[in-house]
Structure 1
C-alpha cells in the first residue's frame, strides 16, 4: 500500500478527513514521510491568531471542567484509553509513516499511551493532600490540590503521540484543559489522536475543546508562551528551543515542564556481564535510529574490557537490519530528514578531527526512494571533547575508557545534559555508588539496563540542561495542579501562630 494511501486510511478510521479539511483554503503544512522522503498531502496549519483563539476555547472548557469531580474526569480518560486500544494499529501506522519507527516501536508508543491512561484513571481517585498538626488548639491544618488552567503541550517529532498523552492524561484528570502544539513533522498522528480524544469527550458528555490541536511554526505558537491564561507550558525539544521558551514563560511567572537534551551514557565496569551490556547498549544506541531523548550516546568502559566490548558491539552493528520500517525484520529505520543526516556526517568528521576513530558505521544505506537510512556508527574517542559533550540527534555512539571508578563518574557527569544514565556491573558497591548523591547526576539512573525504555510509573525527566521537568508517573501530577494550604478554626477563640499577642 502506498504510504499516502496508508495514512489516509488510518486517519479515516480514526475519524479524520484531512484532505477535505483544507479545501476551504488557509494556511497549511505538508505532511511528509522519512520512509521514502516524499511529500504526502497538505494539512491545516494555525497562525498566531488561531492559537490565541484556541487558548480562549480551552480556557472556557477549563472553567466547566474544573468543577467536575476527579473520578468523573477519570472516566473520560478511561474511554480515551479504550479508543486508543481499538485504534492501536491505525495510530502505529501513522507513527511509522511520519517518524519511520519500526513496527514494534510504533506499537510500543501507542501502548505507552494506553498505559498512561490506565495510570491516570487510578490517579483520579488519589489526588491527595495532607493533614498536618496545628500548633493552635481547635485548629486543623491541611493542604488541598486544585486544577490550574490551560496546559500548553509542545511536542517533538520523535514521540509524536506518547509524550502528549503523558501530559494530557494527567492534565485532564487534574481538571485542566490542553492546547497541543504538535510538531510540524507529525501533523497526521496528532490529528488522529486529537480526534479520538474528542470522540471520547463527546461520548462521556465532557465539554468541547478540552484538547485543542494547533499545528504551526514557532512564530504561530508564541501566544502559548506569552498568554497568562496558560499557567503551565510543557515543552519537549532541543536545548536551544528550551533556552528560547523558558525566559518568555518565566517573564510572566508561568510554570515550565521542560524535557530537553539527553547526552546519555553507560558505564561498563570490569565486573559487567557483557552479554547483558551489549544487548542493552545496542538497543539504547541504535533504536529509533538514535532519535530518542534517552538514546545512549556515550559508553564509558573500563580499559580492561574496552577491546572486547567494542569488538562485540561492532559485530552486532554490522548485521543490524537497516531498512523499510514496515518490512518484517527491520530494526533500524530512517533518519527524520536530510538535515539530520548532514548533522550526523558533520559530527563524524569533527570526531575524526578530534582524534577519534570510526570503528564501524556512519554510511548512508540505499533502501527506498529518497529516505535517509544510515548504519549506526561506533566511534572510539581519545577524550571527552567538546563534540562529545554536545548531543547529535543521530545513531552515533562514542566510546571512552577509564581507569578508576571516580574517573568514570566524572566523565559520565561531565556533560551539560542530565537525562538518563546506566551502569553495567555485578559489583553491588559500584551499583550503589552510582545511585548515591555523588554518583550519576541524571534524572533517570539505571543499573544493568540501558538508558532507553522508561516505564510510565516513574517520573520521567532530567537535570541540568535537560530542563528539570517531570512527566508521567510518581508525583509528576503535582506539576499540573495548584496547592492551597488551609487552616480551619473550629474553636471559639482566635489564637495567633507563634504565640503572637495582638490583643
Structure 2
C-alpha cells in the first residue's frame, strides 16, 4: 500500500515530512501506513505568520463575527464526516468511537458558536463582571475587560481524540481572537491532518488562523512569550517536562494542562441490586471501560462500592464484559476495537501488571483473547481487565498508576467518609461520578470531594434517560481538575474563551468606559437623537441615545384601580395604617408593576415602526417608594446593540425612573427587537 506522507501546514504552505521521519502503524493490522516529520519547519516563521497575519485578521472581527465563522466551519465539517470516519478505523476505534471524536468535536464548535452569539457582545472587548463604583458621585468607575492576547496559542494534543482534541481547543481560541498552531500526537495524526485540510480548503478561517505541526515541536516552545499560550493534553510526566521549559518559566507563558487522571465512580450506600441505580452503575462502568478501548482521560479507573456490594458488582460487570466482542472495528458485531498503537498496548499491559501486584485480576484473560476478524494478529488488541483491590487503604499503586486502556479496579468502602477518602487518594481527578438517589449522600460527597475534582457527575433513576454520561466532557462546563489532573481548565463556555484573553482593570469616567466597551455606562452623557428612538432603525440608533419623558402624577385612584384590576391588593397599597407600620413605606404606595406600566406609557411611541417586540426585562430594582401625589418621569437610553438575524437586532435600553425631586425610584434593562429597515 502507498504510505501517507503527512504534511504540516506552516505559513500558509503545506510542507512534506523531512529529516528524522517517524513511521506510523495501523492499530488494527500493525502495518505501516504513514510517515510524519517536521525537521524542515521554521518555527519562528510560523509564530510570526500567526501574529502578523492570523491575529490581526481575527481581532478585526467582533465576537459575533467570529461566532458566525465557527458556525460556518462546524457546518462545513459536519457535511464531510464520512471520510474522517473511514480514516479513523486505522486508529483501532469503532464507528461509535469515531462519533465520540468527530461528532463530539464538531458539536463543540457549534456550542461555542452559539455561546459567542448569545453570551458575548457584538464587540471587540468582553466586559468581565459588573461595573465597580469607585467614587462618591459616580464620575470615576472601574470595569474589568478581556481583550485577545497578541500572540499565538500552541495546542499540543493527545492521541486518543485526534479531531475532538483539536476542535475543543480551537473553538474557544478562535472565538477569543487568537490564532493557533496545532500539534497532534503523531500516532493518530493522520486523522487530524485530514480534518485540517478540510478546514483550510473551506476558506472560512482567515489566513494564519490555524497552522499544523506533523512531528516534533523542535524549538517552538523556546520562542514563545507572555502573549502566547500553551494548551496541553496528555500525561502528567510530559506536562511536567514541557512546563519546566526555561523559556516558558522565564517569560511567564500561560500553560494550560489537562493530564492523566485516576477517575472514580462511587456506588451510593442506598443502592442495591434491586434498584435501577445498580444497573445504571454497571452500565456506566462498562461503557467507560470499552468506549475508545478505555483510552479516555475521563474513563473510570476505580470503582468504589459498599463492602456488601463488591461481589455483586464484580459478578454483574464480569457478565457484561464476557459479552463484549473485540476485534476488527469494521467487522459486524465488534463492540471494542484496538488500542491506538502497539506502544500503547505495551504500556497498558505493563501498567496493568503493576496494578496486579496489589490487586486480584477477576476478569481479563489475555492469553485466550478471541478476536472478531481476520489478519489481526499484529494489532494492538487487549482484553478488558477488571481487578479487585481487597485492601484499598494499604494499596498505593491502584491510586497512583493509570493503565490508559480498558482497565478498572473494584474496591470496597465502609461508610461515606471512607468512600470520600478513597476518591481523594487519586491526587486530583478530572471527574468522579456518584450513583445515588439520596440527596444527603450527594451533598456529603460534594462537600468532601469537590476540592479534589474538576467535575462531579451525579446520576440516578430521575436523570438517567437524559444524562450525558460519566466520561463526557461538555463544552458548556469546565473540563480539567486539580493536582494530578493538571490544575488547568478547558472548555467551560465563555470561561474557556477567556483563557486566551488578558483580563485588565480599566478605570475612568462613564463617558470613557462607554466608548471603550461599546455599552452605555450609567452617568455618561446623553445623546439627543433627531427623532423618537422607537422610530429609528437598528443601525440608526446610537449607543447613549436618550429620550427624557414628561412627568406623570400618580394618584390614589390609579393605585386602587390597579389593585382591583390585577387582584394585587397587598396591604401596602390598600391599608394606610398597616403600610405606615411597615419600615419600608411612609404609607400607602404605588405598586412596582404599576410604575413599570406608567414608564412604558411615558416612553412608548405607539405607531408601527422599527421596534418589533419587547422581549425581556433584566435587573429590575426599586430604590424609593412612590406615594399618591408623587410625579414620575423616565430616561430611556440605548445601552447595547446586538445583531440577531439579517433582518433585525436586539437593542438593550437602560431605563431610569425619577420622582419630582430627581430621586431615582426604579431602574432596569429593557430588551427589544428592532428592524434594520423601516417597514
Fold shared by both chains (TM-score > 0.5): yes
The correspondence for 1:234, drawn from 219, 231, 251, is: 231
Instruction: Give me the whole-angstrom Cα distance separating, in 1, the residues matched to 2:108 and 2:352.
Output: 38
CA deviation profile, 1:21-74 (whole Å, cap 9, x unmatched):
74x96554333210111111334x213853332222112121332222222222
**Count of matched residue pairs:** 472
Instruction: Give me the whole-angstrom Cα distance separating, in 1, the residues matched to 2:55 and 2:511.
Output: 36
Range that drifts further, 440-449 or 475-484: 440-449
- Return 5+ residue gaps in structure 1 as ranges: 493-503
Range that drifts further, 170-179 or 437-446: 437-446
Q: Is the 8 A contact 2:351 2:402 kept in 1?
A: no
Instruction: Give me the whole-angstrom Cα distance separating, in 1, the residues matched to 2:342 and 2:41.
Output: 32
Instruction: Give me the whole-angstrom Cα distance separating, in 2, the residues matched to 1:360 and 1:117.
Output: 39
Distance 1:94 1:378, change over 3 A: same
Instruction: Give me the whole-angstrom Cα distance separating, in 2, the residues matched to 1:285 and 1:491.
Output: 58
Instruction: Give me the whole-angstrom Cα distance separating, in 1, the residues matched to 2:318 and 2:183.
Output: 40
CA deviation profile, 1:209-253 (whole Å, cap 9, x unmatched):
210000112xx3442354217611100000001111223223320
Instruction: Give me the whole-angstrom Cα distance separating, in 1, the residues matched to 2:431 and 2:71.
Output: 30
| Residue 352 of structure 1: how far off its partner (Å) | 3.7
- Pairing 1:100-179 to 2, within 5 Å after superposition: 100-125=92-117, 126-127=119-120, 128-129=126-127, 130-136=129-135, 137=137, 138-148=139-149, 149-179=151-181
| Residue 106 of structure 1: how far off its partner (Å) | 0.2
CA deviation profile, 1:423-447 (whole Å, cap 9, x unmatched):
1122221112112255562101111
The correspondence for 2:362, drawn from 359, 363, 369, is: 359
Instruction: Give me the whole-angstrom Cα distance separating, in 2, the residues matched to 1:231 and 1:238.
Output: 22
TM-score, structure 1 normalization? 0.87
Instruction: Give me the whole-angstrom Cα distance separating, in 2, the residues matched to 1:26 and 1:352.
Output: 41
Rg (Cα) greater in structure = 2
CA deviation profile, 1:254-303 (whole Å, cap 9, x unmatched):
11211001101111123222111110111112221111101111111101
Instruction: Give me the whole-angstrom Cα distance separating, in 2, the residues matched to 1:306 and 1:49.
Output: 54
- Return 5+ residue gaps in structure 2 as ranges: 121-125, 272-276, 460-466, 513-679
Q: Is the 8 A contact 2:355 2:401 kept in 1?
A: no
Distance 1:341 1:362, change over 3 A: farther
Q: What SS is found at the alignment partner of 1:304? A: helix
1:224 pairs with 2:224: no
Q: Is the 8 A contact 1:48 1:222 kept in 2?
A: no
TM-score, structure 2 normalization? 0.65
Q: Is the 8 A contact 2:186 2:214 kept in 1?
A: yes
Distance 1:490 1:313, change over 3 A: closer
The correspondence for 2:380, drawn from 372, 380, 383, is: 372
Q: Is the 8 A contact 1:270 1:302 kept in 2?
A: yes
Query: In structure 1, what is the equivalent of residue 81 of structure 2?
Result: 88
Range that drifts further, 64-73 or 404-413: 64-73
Q: Is the 8 A contact 1:264 1:451 kept in 2?
A: no
Range that drifts further, 443-452 or 423-432: 443-452
Query: In structure 2, what is the equivalent of residue 483 of structure 1?
Result: 503
CA deviation profile, 1:365-411 (whole Å, cap 9, x unmatched):
35314102111011111233232121121211111111111001101
Q: Is the 8 A contact 2:416 2:445 kept in 1?
A: no
Query: In structure 2, what is the equivalent of residue 469 of structure 1?
Result: 488
Q: Is the 8 A contact 1:154 1:180 kept in 2?
A: yes
1:261 pairs with 2:260: yes
Query: In structure 1, what is the equivalent of residue 27 of structure 2?
Result: 34
| Residue 416 of structure 1: how far off its partner (Å) | 2.3
1:317 pairs with 2:330: no
Structure 1 segments, 4+ long, off by >6 Å, are none
Instruction: Give me the whole-angstrom Cα distance separating, in 2, the residues matched to 1:310 and 1:322.
Output: 20
- Pairing 1:302-451 to 2, within 5 Å after superposition: 302-354=306-358, 356-363=359-366, 365=369, 367=371, 368-384=376-392, 385-388=395-398, 389-436=400-447, 438=449, 441-448=452-459, 451=470
Query: In structure 2, what is the equivalent of residue 501 of structure 1?
Result: none
Query: In structure 2, what is the equivalent of residue 69 of structure 1?
Result: 62
Instruction: Give me the whole-angstrom Cα distance separating, in 2, the residues matched to 1:422 and 1:430.
Output: 12
Instruction: Give me the whole-angstrom Cα distance separating, in 2, the residues matched to 1:51 and 1:271.
Output: 57
The correspondence for 1:457, drawn from 457, 476, 489, is: 476
Q: Is the 8 A contact 2:427 2:452 kept in 1?
A: no
Q: What SS is found at the alignment partner of 2:499? A: helix
Q: Is the 8 A contact 1:55 1:229 kept in 2?
A: no
Distance 1:199 1:77, change over 3 A: farther
Distance 1:179 1:283, change over 3 A: same
Q: What SS is found at the alignment partner of 1:288? A: helix
CA deviation profile, 1:132-167 (whole Å, cap 9, x unmatched):
132223123222221112111000100111021111
Distance 1:153 1:362, change over 3 A: farther
Q: Is the 8 A contact 2:433 2:456 kept in 1?
A: yes
* Higher RCO, Cα 8 Å, sep 6+: 1
The correspondence for 2:287, drawn from 267, 283, 293, is: 283
Q: Is the 8 A contact 1:324 1:333 kept in 2?
A: yes
Instruction: Give me the whole-angstrom Cα distance separating, in 1, the residues matched to 2:116 and 2:450.
Output: 35
